[in-house]
Structure 1
Amino acid sequence: MSSAFTPEQWAYLEAHKNDSRVYDIHWFYSVPIPVSVLSTAFRLWAKKAGKNGITLDDYLIIFATICLVGECASGLGYGPPHGMGRHITAVSAENLKIFRKGDYVFSHFYDLALGSVKLAILAFYYRVFIVPIFQYVVLATAAFIVCWEIAITTTLAVVCRPINAFWDDNVKGTCLNLVTFTYFTNISNLATDIWIFLLPIPVILRLQLPLTKKLALCAIFSVGLATCVVSAIRITVVLGHGSPDFTWATVPLGAYSVFEPLGGILCTNLPIIWHMYRKIHSPLKNHLSSGQTHSSRPSRPSRRPSSLDESLNRWLPLPATNSQVELTQDGKGLHMDPTVMRPTPAAFWNRVEGKGEDEEVGIALPMHSIVVERGFKTEVTRSPESKPEHPGMRKNVYEVRKR
């Protein structure tokens, strides 16, 4: 092992033998697990609350979340306990072998998580944007991503012949150049990310919407470009794979390898969660604001009868007379009826609910009272040759009050 380092490098490693990045590894492999699981769980809750059902993009995001959890778990299980985060001079040969096995598993989870996120975003585009030409482009892009994923996974599976030469230095075999392979994976991944996240922008700009809403939609669908930034930064640390002190140098590469798929999962989940939050929060906010408005206004009697009052009979006390008077409409005019009945509560609610039931069981009115039925039109129909039986009689309660 000492032949891989210059005397100066070897002296540096011996001087910093006790340095450790284990704490950093623990937090950046631990945080993505609850964040990804919770965001996907909230996404499924939002889909269920909106009664939209589980679609293909949801299943793909679930699979991507499982792959990300597996990636982080393999990083935690095979990393710090077996030398990751420490200089290679402080790690035993047996721990190096276990660490490399974990790196092999970790890389497979990483590739599967990336491919699943890309396909989930494309499935979401296909479901939301019902534009035939755009959907054809989405399908073509999805086909390319599937082929890309198969090629990457297959190449990684046979990166060494025999495969145990990947983690065991004592096994003689041939392996691909990991630095070159990782560069190819990252550059192609970055190119497809940029293409996917810019894909819906032309369709959004052609929508019949105000400019502000178009820009807002473009911003929402372009949030995933932050993932492209992570991919670009990851390219700068790829050389850690080729470093002789790889247990120390691959720590930044491992961090970006988990946050890159995490960013894709969040960019896919958050718009759906935010949409459902606004859908639930807006009616509640309107209800609370309307309640505060009503409570802040002082109660005072209305000058005009309410719509509910207008649909019912109005009882007005008048000066004493020798008879009871009911105003009705029979197509010929107004007439006197000495037996006046007051509607029962059942008839009241039937009229309020609009059931149109006219059956009323009544009780006799008190003496010296008059009831005005509001069910007639503004102008009372009269025969041409007859004169009103009660000239000067007001037609409605409002005019009686006004008089």
Structure 2
Amino acid sequence: MANINGTITVLAPPDGYVVDLENPKTQYVVESYTVVAVEMTFCFLFLLQRLYTKIVIMKKFQLEDGVVIFAWFFCMGTQICGLLGLAHGAIGRHAWEISIEKYAFYSRIILAAPLLYAIGTAAAKISLALFYRRLNPNKVFQGFVWFTLFVCLAAYTAIFFSLLFACKPIAASWDPLLLALPTTVCLNRGGIYLAQAVIGIVTDVLLLALPVPTVLKLQMPNKQKLGLVGIFGVGSITIVTSIVRLIILLPSLTTADQTWVIGEGFLWIYVEANLLIMCCCLSTLRRFFKHFAPRLIGEYSSGSNSKSHERGFSRNHAQRTFGSGGAKRTLDTLMNTKNEDNGIPLSSFDDMDKSGGKIATKAKNMGRDSDSEEAILFERSVQVTYENRDDQSMSGGGPARGYEGTQSHQPKVWTERRAPHAH
């Protein structure tokens, strides 16, 4: 403690430093407000995009969507804590130019922000893991997904309670006067912050690596496949921010002027917290742009050709055997994963009524396309060529018993027009 012109401060100023309590030196104040204003806006827009896509376009609000909203609230709470510290002059200033009352406020901020951030970070990463569950039913892949989810949940739960009960009594975590008492015992909170940064890097790497093998095996053009890998690669930005934050954190552990160095640390927390939420919302971008601006994602075709291509027909319209190739794993715009047999689900040829050369083919009920809500009429034509052999008896001077001749018929065309479902 030091008494500077009647003001009690936690630290005494270094020799030769002129203390100015009215106009103290500051750092990263303007930068912090700018980053928060820009990134919070983008983060909120990304979240609105995800919710609009899932609720309005897809009409599916799933568990991971609720978890993302939960994560957003806590990440916003972390940033609000930092902004309050800046507004009250408790962050980004030297400790010897902050009164003991402001330092007590700083202590509360520095306790609340990491607790909120641990919850928000864990929720964001759990949301990604929940989404990954639907990418691939392979048991090995599912095992890695659940392992990553468990690591995120367990690690950040441990961080949360370690920070909450770092001091005995607990009030010493936010009351600097209690820290001076000989009976107060505190853990090395700097080490906990260091562990939190390392855990963030490890879990980011796990979440980045998980979907790549599945995306590379998708049955889609290489251009779209690279685009999907790029979307997941955006998540690597959070790895960079975690590493930068760790580099900044290391020297701050050995300095007593915490209120000064924490300004830069909070700056990178603002960046990382918003990027976490935006990365969680990237998975719906393709569906969103497919609905509003399909050309931006390479959806140039229209009409029946486009619909046929989406169901597995090649662009050159090469002939295919119905049901050939087996079930293929597809990723429906990174949101609905499904197994589907390429080809048109016709009734068997035994259902044909060959009398008179007519075809009575019944179209089986097909799953609704994800865009059926948009009232798009689509038409599918299947060309079926068959042979009809007349079986005549030998009686009456007719031809010999058996199949003597083959009567070829022109190809018939089976057409289905489906109207949009009424809502």
Alpha-carbon distance, 1:211 to partner: 3.8
User: 1:190 — aligned with what?
Assistant: 201
CA shift digits 1:142-201 (9 cap, x unpaired) = 112111121111111101111121222321311111221111111121011111111111
Does residue 1:20 correspond to 2:31, yes or no? no
Alpha-carbon distance, 1:12 to partner: 4.0
Alpha-carbon distance, 1:208 to partner: 3.5
CA distance in 1, matches of 2:126, 2:297: 37
Q: How many equivalent residue pairs?
A: 289
User: 1:120 — aligned with what?
Assistant: 127
CA distance in 2, matches of 1:260, 1:121: 16
- Tell me, yes or no, if the aligned pair for 1:129 and 1:135 is still in contact at 8 Å: yes
User: 1:253 — aligned with what?
Assistant: 265
CA shift digits 1:192-238 (9 cap, x unpaired) = 11111111112222333444443332222121001100000000111
- Tell me, yes or no, if the aligned pair for 2:108 and 2:174 is still in contact at 8 Å: yes
CA distance in 1, matches of 2:61, 2:230: 25
AA partner of residue 217 (structure 1): L
Q: 2:44 aligns with which of 31, 37, 47?
A: 37
CA distance in 2, matches of 1:269, 1:194: 18
TM-score, with structure 1 as normaliser: 0.65
Q: 1:50 aligns with which of 53, 57, 79?
A: 57
Question: Superposed, which structure 2 residues align to 1:283-302 within 5 Å?
Answer: none
- Tell me, yes or no, if the aligned pair for 1:82 and 1:98 is still in contact at 8 Å: no
Question: Superposed, which structure 2 residues align to 1:123-138 within 5 Å?
Answer: 123-138=130-145
Does residue 1:179 correspond to 2:184, yes or no? no
AA partner of residue 18 (structure 1): P
The SS at the match of 1:237 is helix
- Tell me, yes or no, if the aligned pair for 2:201 and 2:239 is still in contact at 8 Å: yes
RMSD: 3.0
CA distance in 2, matches of 1:49, 1:192: 32
CA distance in 2, matches of 1:182, 1:78: 18
Structure 1: 5+ residue stretches without partners: 291-403
User: 1:280 — aligned with what?
Assistant: 292
- Tell me, yes or no, if the aligned pair for 2:215 and 2:229 is still in contact at 8 Å: yes
The SS at the match of 1:250 is helix
User: 1:399 — aligned with what?
Assistant: none
Question: Superposed, which structure 2 residues align to 1:182-221 within 5 Å?
Answer: 182-221=193-232
AA partner of residue 278 (structure 2): L
- Tell me, yes or no, if the aligned pair for 1:86 and 1:247 is still in contact at 8 Å: yes
Which structure shows the higher helix fraction? 1
TM-score, with structure 2 as normaliser: 0.62
Does residue 1:11 correspond to 2:16, yes or no? yes
Identity %: 25
CA distance in 2, matches of 1:288, 1:146: 42
CA shift digits 1:14-45 (9 cap, x unpaired) = 48973223333333344443332222122100
Does residue 1:88 correspond to 2:95, yes or no? yes
AA partner of residue 276 (structure 2): G
- Tell me, yes or no, if the aligned pair for 2:89 and 2:102 is still in contact at 8 Å: yes
Based on CA coordinates, which of the two structures has the bigger radius of gyration?
1
- Tell me, yes or no, if the aligned pair for 1:25 and 1:80 is still in contact at 8 Å: no
Does residue 1:263 correspond to 2:275, yes or no? yes
CA distance in 2, matches of 1:113, 1:285: 31
AA partner of residue 276 (structure 1): F
- Tell me, yes or no, if the aligned pair for 2:20 and 2:97 is still in contact at 8 Å: no
CA distance in 2, matches of 1:186, 1:93: 29
User: 2:384 — aligned with what?
Assistant: none
Alpha-carbon distance, 1:79 to partner: 3.4
Structure 2: 5+ residue stretches without partners: 3-8, 303-423
Alpha-carbon distance, 1:286 to partner: 11
